[in-house]
Structure 1
Amino acid sequence: METNKIKFLETYLSFYINHTVIMDNFYTPDSKYVVLDVRNAPAQIKKDQIKGAVALPAKDLKKHVKQLNKNKIYVVYDWTAGTTLGKEALLVLLSAGFESYELSCALEGWKGMNLPVEGIK
């Protein structure tokens, strides 16, 4: 039974990436990571985002997936880790053959750790 639990947790955790992993080179010109803000809200509701993130709402991702670079690693995030938009976006990306993860701390955790954010215009 414990083996099944361990296997399940390993699989579950494989969908997520920790901010410390991407912070090492996210802000370098040759970064292998692209962070996608997949929240479906308009800019005036969102107000801010992870610095350097690309806004691509989950509802529009399927329409734009062919424009994404297969050589990049995509990290998606939503408001909180408990919401489903990040998981929906991750499903689209994984199904299209992209290496991709959901940000483990979501926007709420990112901001809680005082990591870089920027206003949305």
Structure 2
Amino acid sequence: METKKIEFLETYLSLYIDHQTVMAEMDKPDSAYVILDVRNAPAQIKQDQIKGAIALPAKDLAQQLDTLDKDKTYVVYDWTAGTTLGKMALFILLSAGFKAFELSSALEGWKGMHLPTEPVAQ
């Protein structure tokens, strides 16, 4: 039984990427990572986003896959770790053959660590 728990946790944890890994790459001109803000809300509700993120709502992601670069690794995030939009977006990307992770602790954790954000373009 303990082996099954460990295997489950290994799989679960492999779906996430931590803030430090993303931060180390985000300012590099040749970064392998593209950060996607998959929140399904208008800009006036979102107000801010992770610096350099691309807004691509989870509800539109499946129809926009042909605009994405298969050579990049996508990092998706939602409002909080407990919401499901990030997980839905991750499922869509992985099912379509993209390399992708969900950001550990989502936007809430990013902001809680005082990492770079920017206003959402109105």
TM-score by length of 2: 0.97
1:71 corresponding residue in structure 2 = 71
Tell me how large the CA RMSD over aligned residues is.
Answer: 0.6
Secondary structure of 1:74's counterpart equals: strand
1:6 corresponding residue in structure 2 = 6
1:118 corresponding residue in structure 2 = 118
Q: List gaps (5 residues or longer) in structure 1.
A: none
Structure 1 stretches of 4+ moved >2 Å: none
How many matched pairs?
Answer: 121
In the TM superposition, what whole-angstrom CA distance separates every residue of 1:40-92 from its partner, at most 9, and x where no partner exists? Answer: 00000000000000000000001101110000000000000000000000000
Distance 2:76 2:27 in 1: 16
Distance 1:23 1:116 in 2: 9
User: How much has 1:11 moved relative to structure 2?
Assistant: 0.5
Q: How does 1:88-103 map to 2 (within 5 A)?
A: 88-103=88-103
2:35 maps to 1:35: yes
Amino acid at match of 1:32: A
2:67 maps to 1:47: no
Q: List gaps (5 residues or longer) in structure 2.
A: none
TM-score by length of 1: 0.98
